[in-house]
Amino acid sequence: MSSTQPLLQIEDISLSFGGIQALKNVSFEVNSGELFSIIGPNGAGKTSMLNCVSGRYHPQLGGIHFRGEEITKLKPNQRCALGIGRTFQNLALFNHMSVLDNIMVGRHHLLKNNFLTGGIHWFTGARREELEHRRYVEEIIDFLEITHIRKAQAGTLSYGLRKRVELARAVALKPDLILLDEPMAGMNHEEKEDMARYIIDLNEEWGMTVVMIEHDMGVVMDLSHRVMVLDFGKQIAIGLPDEIMANPHVKKAYLGDEDLDADAVAQEVAQ
């Protein structure tokens, strides 16, 4: 977080679908090395915001800058090439493919050899390149403790393991910024603890800046450096975790009562 220029800058983003406005003049910045969370009630616009950053949606108004470069109109694959990776709220794995092959898909945009040059391994260096990619993927598999399922078909795995494989594929992009959309949804307590540990390590040891959507308020407050709150597409608060928990606008958005204490907010969000 020592960079003088924010890694990600969101400036007055507005997004509408027909007569429904999903986001209204949302602005925030994410610093390099930060673990930044976006929270809010259901339908607040959280996933829409991530979709704008990743390129799935294109806002009608506002701008998005990554490392100072305007990326508002770039396609998702172009943003991947710049160093932006993501996971999805609903799993997006190739169920018929092995865990290893799913993760290798995440390396696709980094390949320098095409199908023509790749056929002449010894003359083009394609074989060496493939081995380097395999080496990095094996490092991810080891880090996320999924060696025992590396050859299994993704569709045969439990939900918690599939979430871990999707994280592995996003990490395979080797992103500077990773967007996590409810990485712990549907997990039991032990699985959540494991995922929290992986996210902290990706941020602190692997040097990835993280923007995360998560409903478990305890997780958000324990992991995040800063938190932004959306409600009906509007940004109503941004700050340190303790500041957010004490914010009357946040309490009102979640429970309709700004006089309730922070514990009540946390309990309601966790349900």
Contact 32/7 with Cβ under 8 angstroms? yes
Q: Does domain 1-83+177-184+208-271 have CATH number 3.40.50.300?
A: yes
Of 161, 141, 160, 159, nearest to 150 by C-alpha is 141
| Span 45-53, average pLDDT | 96
- In angstroms, the CA 42 to CA 184 distance is 16
Tokens standing for residue 178: 């990773």
The predicted structure's pLDDT at residue 123 = 52
Amino acid at 233: G
Name the residue ranges covered by the structural domains of the chain: 1-83+177-184+208-271, 92-174
pLDDT over 70 (residue 269): no
pTM metric for this prediction: 0.86
For residue 68, the model assigns a pLDDT of 95
Residue 20 has pLDDT above 70, yes or no: yes
